[in-house]
Homo-oligomer: A and B are copies of this chain.
Amino acid sequence: MTGDPPSRPLPRTPRTQLHRMRERAGRDRADLDAVLAAGFVCHLGVVVDGAPRVLPTLYGTDGDTLYLHGSVAARSLAESPGATVCVTVTHVDGLVLARSVFEHSVNYRSAMVYGVPRTVTDPEEKLAGLRCLTEQAAPGQWDYARRPSRKELAATSLLALALDEASVKIRTGPPDDGDGPDAALGLWAGVLPLHTSWGAPQPDPLLPPDLPPPPHIGDRAAPGPVTPR
């Protein structure tokens, strides 16, 4: 990470314009950065033979660039260079349990990024991008693990996508029918939060038994609910 970008509005394009009104649109670049910073797995959408393909993969950010582990999509992208992709990152925060089924919803934060990805070939940028991916998922791990050799680097597919065209959708808070006629039903309504937390590290069975995890791994598990990072 090269420091937070300055706060600025997200540019709007026809495909990043929201058409549904219940959710809040994140209007600022800081909203996008916050959603991206809270995860490490995205869903990468590509078009293959005219049909969509949605692939989970790892990502990391560096300023205005989104880096993606590209192995899952290497074949698809090689067949259609210059094609647009869509990257979506979603965090599910809870179920919104309303009085009526119709008003049920989900509290979530979601970011969608469009663009034409660039295959990273420069070894220096590839190393920097892989560092972003690694640190996004496991902060501290880049300096701890053995870094990629030249051969490993060549065998890794990395994509770069500019954060130029993106939208953010966020829903928070209670159900919307608390002041409507359904309130008279006397039903319980509210939010059932969904938490994500790291568990205790599970050592590789092939490790010597007395080797503790380093603090950047061992200290991550928390008794209470935490977000991934």
A4 on the interface (CB 8 Å rule)?
no
Tell me if A24 counts as interface (CB < 8 A to partner B).
Answer: no
Interface positions, chain A 156-207, Cβ under 8 Å from B, are 156, 174-175, 178-179, 182-183, 185-207
A179 CA to B205 CA in the complex, in Å? 11
Chain A at the B interface: SS class = mixed
| In the complex with contacts A86-B53, A145-B100, A199-B204 CB distance below 8 A | no
With a 10 A CB-CB cut-off, give which of A52, A108, A114, A203 has the most chain B CB atoms: A52
Which residues of chain B come closer than 8 Å to A90, judged between CB atoms?
A: 41, 43, 56
Q: How far is the CA of A207 from the CA of B51 in the complex (A)?
A: 46
Question: Nearest CB to that of A145 among chain B residues?
Answer: B101
Q: How far is the CB of A90 from chain B (nearest CB, A)?
A: 4
Chain B residues positioned under 8 Å from A104 (CB to CB):
134, 137-138, 141, 145
The answer, yes or no, to whether A30 is at the interface (CB within 8 Å) is no
Distance of A134 from chain B, by nearest CB (Å): 6
A198 in complex: contacting residue of B46, B100, B186, B192, CB < 8 Å: B192
15 contacts between A and B (CB under 8 A): A43-B43, A45-B86, A47-B47, A51-B114, A58-B106, A94-B202, A97-B141, A101-B148, A102-B155, A102-B156, A138-B192, A188-B214, A188-B217, A192-B199, A193-B199
Residues of chain B lying within 8 A (CB to CB) of residue A193: 198-200, 202
- A51-B47 contact, Cβ under 8 Å, with A100-B152, A217-B188: yes
Q: Is the CB of B196 within 8 A of A195?
A: yes
B174–A204 CB distance below 8 A? yes
Residues of B within 8 A of A155 (CB): 102
